[in-house]
Amino acid sequence: MKRIVVIALAALGFVVAATVGRYYLVGHGGGTSSSSSVSIGGPFQLVDHNGKAVTDEDFRGKYMLVYFGYTFCPDVCPTSLSIVAEALDQLSPEELDKIVPIFISVDPDRDTPESLADFVPHFHEKLVGLTGTPEQIKAVARAYRAFYAKVNEDDPDGNYLMDHSSITYLMGPDGKYAAHFSHGTPPAAMAKRLAEIL
Ligand code: NI
C-alpha cells in the first residue's frame, strides 16, 4: 500500500514537472524563441564517447545542439537524432563548422562511453555522445529542464524503457540558451532557423 502511494506521488510529481517544463519550453515563443525568461543550460561535467572527461567549457566558441535521450530508445531518440542529422546536412560547411551536435544520455546505468561510441556515428559524424554518473546526469538534465524516468523497472529480464522529454536545445558560443526545437520539428525548418542564427 505504502509503495503504491509513493509511486503515485512520484508519477504525479513527474507529470507536474513535465507540464511546467512544457509550459516554459513549448508554451511560449512558438518553439524557437530566442529570448527566454527562464534560464536553460549551465555548467556540466560528463564523459564523452571516447572516454574523455569534458565540461561545458570545452565547447565554448561553438554552438551546441543538445538532445537528451538513451541508446536503447526504440523510436523517439533515433527519430530525433535523424532529424538533427538531416538538418545539419542542409547547412553550409561554414555553418556546420560553428556547431557541435551533442547527445546526452539519461540512462547512465547502461550508456557507457563504449555504447555511445557504437551509437553516435550511425547518425552524424560530428555527433558527440556524453554520459556520466547518475548524479552528473541528474545535474545536467536539471540545468536543461529535461525530464526522464525509468519505466517498467520490474521486467524480470532487467529490460526497461525511459520516459524522457524530447527537445533539442541550441546553446550559443557563450554557453547560453539561444533557441530550442520542439519534438517533431521538420529538418528543413530546423536547418532554416539554425542558418538564421549561426
Ligand atoms: Ni528516446
**Domain range holding 123?**
2-197
Beta-bridge partner residues of 45 = 55
* 3-class secondary-structure state, position 6: helix
Q: What's the half-sphere exposure (Cβ side, CA atoms, 13 Å) at 1?
A: 0
pLDDT at 159 over 90: no
Distance 73 CA to ligand 1 centre (A): 4
> Residue 28: its pLDDT value, please?
36
Beta strands in 15-72 (DSSP E): 45-48, 53-55, 63-69
Separation between Cα atoms, residue 95 and residue 189, nearest integer Å: 15
Model confidence over 45-102: pLDDT tens digits? Answer: 999 999 999 999 999 999 999 999 999 999 999 999 999 999 999 999 999 999 999 9
3-state SS class at 68: strand
Single out the residue of 168, 160, 161 nearest to residue 123, CA to CA: 168
Residue 1 Cα to ligand 1 midpoint, Å, equals 31
Looking up residue 128, the CATH number of its domain turns out to be 3.40.30.10
* pLDDT tens, position by position, 107-148: 999 999 999 999 999 999 999 999 999 999 999 999 999 999
Give the Å distance between the CA of 86 and the centre of ligand 1: 18
**Euclidean distance between CA atoms 78 and 73, whole angstroms:** 7
- Adjacent-strand bridge partners of 151: 161
Higher confidence at residue 19 or residue 78?
78
- Residue 169, pLDDT score: 98
pLDDT for 37 equals: 58
Q: 77 C-alpha vs ligand 1 centroid, how far in Å?
A: 4
The per-residue pLDDT of the chain, averaged, comes to 86
Contact 124, 85 (CB under 8 A): yes
The three cell numbers locating residue 153: 523497472
Q: What is the pLDDT of residue 198?
A: 95
What is the average pLDDT across 30-44?
68
167 residue type, one letter: I
* Better pLDDT: 165 or 15: 165
- Tally of CA atoms within 13 A in the half-sphere of 123 that contains its CB: 26
Q: Which protein residues have a CB closer than 5 Å to ligand 1 (ion)?
A: 69, 73, 76-77
pLDDT given at position 167: 97
Residue 71's pLDDT is what?
97
Alpha-carbon Rg for the chain in angstroms: 17
Give rounded-to-5 percent helix, strand, coil for the chain: 40, 20, 35
Share of the chain above pLDDT 70, in %: 81
Q: How many domains does the chain have?
A: 1
